[in-house]
Structure 1
C-alpha cells in the first residue's frame, strides 16, 4: 500500500469525523481516504442541479448546503438545509438516476466527494471497505426514508 500523504491523512480524519462511517475500522478509513477528494465551495455556488447526471456524492465537512426543488413555476425552493456530517447526492451515485433535487452552498463549505467512478474502483480494489461504505450510506438513506414516512403519516392525522 502506498505511503499515506498529508492530503489522504486529512481526508481520513474528515471521514472519521463525519459520523456516517462509524462502523469502519481505523485501517478502513486509511483505505477509503484514497478514493475521496476535498472541495471548497463558496456560498451560493451550485453544487449540482435537479436533473443532472449523478456522477458524485458529497459529505459536508463544514458549512451548510441548501436542498432545492423546482416548483411548477420554475422557481427553486429550499426544502432542507444540510449541516456538517451529512451526506447528499448519494441516491444518484447508487442508482444511476438523475438528481432528484438541486444542492447549493448556503455558506462557504468544505466537502468530501466520492465519484461514481471512484466508488466502482473501490468496489474492485477494496471490496470489503466499499461494502462498508455502501452499507453506511444505505442505513443513512433508510433512516431518512423512515423519517419522511413518519412525517407523511403525522400530516394525515
Structure 2
C-alpha cells in the first residue's frame, strides 16, 4: 500500500508539510465548517497537525472519479467544482449525492450547477457534468476514505485552493494519541455521511412522488 504522500504525488498534488494550526485560518472556518463545528481552537490545531497541506492551481484535478484513495480533504481556501459522469434522461430530476455530507442542491457549502439533460449515445464516453460547487470549510472524499471504494465524483480547483488531507492511518494515530479529538472527528464524519444519506433519501422520495 502506498504511503499518503505517495498517493498524493500520484494524484499530482504537492505536499507543503502539515497544516499545523487550523485555528490560524480564522474563527469562521471553525464556525462554518460542518467537520469542525464543536471543535475548540486547540482541538482543531491537534487535528491540523495530523493533516498534510496541499495546494492546487485553477483547473487542477484534486480527486478523480473512479480512483481509489484512503484519504479525505478539508478545503481551507478556494473553490472546487464537483463533477460526475452521469447519463441523465429528460425525466430524471434526482440530486446526486456529493461526498461531504450533502446532496448537490441542499448543502450550505454546495450550490446546484449545470447538469447535462441528455443521454449519451451508445458507445460514447459519458461527459462529466458539474453537480456542485463547494467552498472553504467543506469536507470531501470521506466516504471513499472509510470504505476504500472508488471515488464517486471528481473534484477540480476553480481557483487557487489550499486543503488539509487526512489519511486513514492518521485518524488511527489521532485516536491513539488524542482519543477525545479522534472520537469527536469520527462523530462528525458519521454525521456528515448520515446527512448525505438523509438528503439523498428525501430527494428519492420527491422523485417517486412525481411518477
Q: Which moved more, 1:13-22 or 1:83-92?
A: 13-22
User: Which structure is higher in helix share?
Assistant: 1
Task: Give the alignment of 1:58-77 within 5 angstroms.
Answer: 58-71=73-86, 73-77=125-129
TM-score normalised according to structure 1 size: 0.83
The runs of 5 or more residues in structure 2 that have no matched partner are 1-17, 88-124
Contact 1:15–1:29 (Cα < 8 Å) also in 2: no
The runs of 5 or more residues in structure 1 that have no matched partner are 1-5
Q: Which runs of 4+ in 1 moved over 4 A?
A: none
TM-score normalised according to structure 2 size: 0.64
How far apart in 2 are the matches of 1:69 and 1:110?
22
**Which residue of structure 2 lines up, in the alignment, with residue 118 of structure 1?**
170
Contact 1:57–1:115 (Cα < 8 Å) also in 2: yes
- Aligned pair in 2 of structure 1 residues 33, 12: CA closer, same or farther (>3 Å)? farther
**Which residue of structure 1 lines up, in the alignment, with residue 146 of structure 2?**
94
CA drift at 1:148: 2.1
How far apart in 1 are the matches of 2:19 and 2:202?
41
CA drift at 1:128: 2.1
Contact 1:15–1:33 (Cα < 8 Å) also in 2: no
How far apart in 1 are the matches of 2:26 and 2:41?
10
Number of residue equivalences? 151
Matched, 1:154 2:169: no
- Aligned pair in 2 of structure 1 residues 7, 66: CA closer, same or farther (>3 Å)? closer
Matched, 1:48 2:100: no
**Which residue of structure 1 lines up, in the alignment, with residue 20 of structure 2?**
8
CA drift at 1:7: 5.5
How far apart in 2 are the matches of 1:111 and 1:7?
9
Contact 2:70–2:146 (Cα < 8 Å) also in 1: no
Contact 1:60–1:85 (Cα < 8 Å) also in 2: yes
Report which of the two structures shows the higher radius of gyration computed on alpha carbons: 2
Contact 2:85–2:129 (Cα < 8 Å) also in 1: yes
**Which residue of structure 2 lines up, in the alignment, with residue 140 of structure 1?**
192
CA drift at 1:90: 0.6
